[in-house]
Structure formats: structure tokens, C-alpha cells
Amino acid sequence: RQRYVEKDGKCNVQHGNVRETYRYLTDIFTTLVDLKWRFSLLVFILAYAVTWLFFGLIWWFIAYCRGDLDHLEDHAWTPCVNNLNGFVSAFLFSIETETTIGYGHRVITDKCPEGIVLLLLQAILGSMVNAFMVGCMFVKISQPNKRAETLVFSSHAVVSLRDDRLCLMFRVGDLRDSHIVEASIRAKLIKSKQTQEGEFIPLDQTDLSVGFETGDDRLFLVSPLIISHEIDERSPFWDVARHQLEKDDFEIVVILEGMVEAT
């Protein structure tokens, strides 16, 4: 049976017929964070490589236009960048400038105003690229996907009497010592529905009360807890018989939210 939400929390939904793809580029930061790791690393490498090559080409072009490459052996000539003798050395100088390495062999002189302006531009743009790409990597590394692996749900949900009330129950626990702060839980019933007007809703979502009215949905998740949904007149399972429950096609999605204490 095909699931709406997989056991690892991934939604089994594929978007099709998306025409306004430019909307992904308007929020480029979130788009890069949502990319798979191999594409994120490719973008990370290209962002630096392209800027290094771009500014390296400009440094070489300035040296070429000023005639520095024609006066390599002329010690009386003051070049824009000392010891820049070709595109490779210009590329290396671009890397040293943007990464603030500064080996000391190649250095800009004060007789080149266009080089000073380019140096300022590369320093500013390099800082922006660093902030953007490092921010993307940090957000991607700190995503809660791996943390969710240590949040364990019971393999089965049961319908049983509890305090003389029929309840749907399951268990949830945290394996780590670091606690989940402000943890809250909610449940959704995913089931096809047909309205009184004849409209067919294939994936209708209905709330299953797990203690919102009493505050029991806010968890102190130190030890494993039993989450209970009382089957009363407000429950979507009120009119469902046991034999019908075994044959019916539906899915219950449980969502646990909270903040990790350590981060």
C-alpha cells in the first residue's frame, strides 16, 4: 500500500506541471538548502571557482592593458601587481586576495588605481560569497533529519480501553540525553472523502485530538510517553466498526515538533 508520508518522515509527493519555476530562484537561499548534498557541494565549489576565475581574468586583463606582461624583466617598471607574469599567476593572486591568504610573493602596488578598486570589489564580493555559502552549509548540516532518527515511535498503534474510555494509543520516546524543548505533538487523519454536495476530496486531512484542549499535546519528553486519542462523538472513528477499521483505506500522520536543547 502506497503511503502518503514515509516512515522516515519524507512526504511521498511529487510536484508536477510547475510552470512558474522562477519562483524558486527568488528564494535562492532556501532552494540551495533544499538541494541534495551532491548538488549543494557542486554549487559550493562552483561559487568559489567561478569568482576566482572571474577576478583572475580581470587581474590578468589589467596587467595586459597596462603592459606589465611586456616589462617582466624591466626592474625600472612598476607593475600593477608584482610578480604577476601570466594568467596562472593572476589566478593564484585572485585566490590569495579573496581568501586573505597573502603569501607575500605577489602584492599590489600603489601605482595602480584600477587595481585598488578591483581589490576592494573582490574583498567585498568575496565576503558576501563566504557568508552566503557558509550560511547554506551550516543550515543544511543543522537540519533535524538525523536528530529525528533518535525519536522512536511504537511499531503499532492500539485501540483499547483506558479509564473506561475507548482510545487510540501509541508510544513515543527520545533516545538522546539532550531534551526536546517545547515539544508538542499532533495527529492528522489522511483519508478520501466525499462531501454532501458530491465533491470528492482524495486526501482530506482531519485533526485527531491528542490533548489540545487539556494541554496534554505539550510533552515533557524525558521518558517514553503514551499518546492517547479518545474516540468520542468528535472523533472521526466514532462511527467506524472494528471490521470496517481493518478494511478501510486511511493513514494517520503523527507530527512531533520541538527545539533541540543543545542547539
Report all structural domains of the chain as residue ranges with CATH numbers, in order of start. Answer: 21-142 (1.10.287.70), 147-260 (2.60.40.1400)
- Determine the Cα–Cα distance for residues 187 and 87; give it in Å rounded to an integer: 61
**263 residues of the chain, pLDDT tens digit each:** 788 888 877 888 877 777 777 777 788 888 888 888 899 999 999 999 999 999 999 999 999 999 988 888 888 898 999 989 999 999 999 999 999 888 888 899 988 999 999 999 999 999 999 999 999 998 888 877 777 888 899 989 999 999 999 999 999 999 988 888 889 999 999 998 888 898 899 889 999 999 888 889 999 988 999 999 999 999 999 988 888 888 888 999 999 999 887 77
Q: Apex CA 236: angle with CA 230 and CA 237, to 5°?
A: 65
Beta strands in the chain (DSSP E): 151-153, 158-162, 165-174, 180-194, 200-208, 218-219, 225-230, 251-260
Give the dihedral sign, CA 57/63/64/69.
negative
CB 218 within 8 A of CB 182: yes
- In order of 155, 201, 247, the CA distances from 258 in angstroms are 22, 31, 34
Give the global pTM. 0.70
Which residue is listed with cell 480501553?
Answer: 161
